[in-house]
Amino acid sequence: MRIGVLALQGDFALHAEALRRVGVEAVEVRKPAELEAVDGLIIPGGESTTLLKLMEAWGFVPALEKFHAQGRPIFGTCAGLIVLAREVLNPPQFSLGLIDVTVERNAYGRQRESFETEGEAALGREPVPIKMVFIRAPRIRRVGPAVTPLAGHRGECVMAREGSVLAAAFHPELTDDPAVHRYFAGMVEAAHPC
């Protein structure tokens, strides 16, 4: 099993390291054709407007739509959540619409208001504790009927799944907690059993 990490911008190297810690081969993806060689993909945090411009310039949008249509799992964190969302606010911008959520950009505050917290996530039969780092994070304002909330913070959904798409407002790669990456690896394994 190989999981790609979109390596155009953002903290892709830390996601690759987190995948390796849970025993998964990580591949940095810089061109759309490289998606053919991976079973799942992580779209990392960074700056969503810049990330979308790079994705459009390199022709990633149709390639990612095809990747999703094939049932290959995608996980977006922070800016990756914005890229995957159905609707984006503050300001409105293009997104792939692969998970039925509405997100508001930078809704948890500016860089100086970044924070780390702990919570619980429904990543198995029983909820598990997870660490969450929020940096200029988007806020999930609406969750569609087919979307399953998996983790919350102060009564709000901060991680959700719809089919083969997982999205989080926080940065699991910035902690030593492997739970979220292990869960995504399980999604990929279930979608593409060896």
Q: Considering just the CA atoms, what is the radius of gyration of the chain in Å?
A: 15
- Spatial strand order of the sheet with 156-162 comes to 25-29, 2-6, 40-43, 74-77, 165-168, 156-162, 148-153, 115-121, 128-134
Query: Is 171 labeled as catalytic in the residue annotation?
Result: yes
Exactly one of 68, 78, 162, 181 is catalytic; name it: 78
Pairing of the two strands 139-143 and 128-134: unpaired
Catalytic-residue membership of 157 = no
Verify whether residue 78 is a known catalytic residue: yes
At 148, list the tokens: 């399953």
Select which of 15, 68, 171, 181 is catalytic.
Answer: 171
Two structure tokens written together for 111: 């860089």
Residue at 156: amino acid letter = E
Q: For residue 136, what are the CA distances in angstroms to 108, 133, 163?
A: 6, 10, 27
Of 68, 157, 162, 173, which is the active-site residue? 173
- Residue from 184, 163, 176 nearest 121 by CA: 184
Residue 69 CB neighbour total at 10 angstroms: 10
Task: Tell me the catalytic residues.
Answer: 78, 171, 173
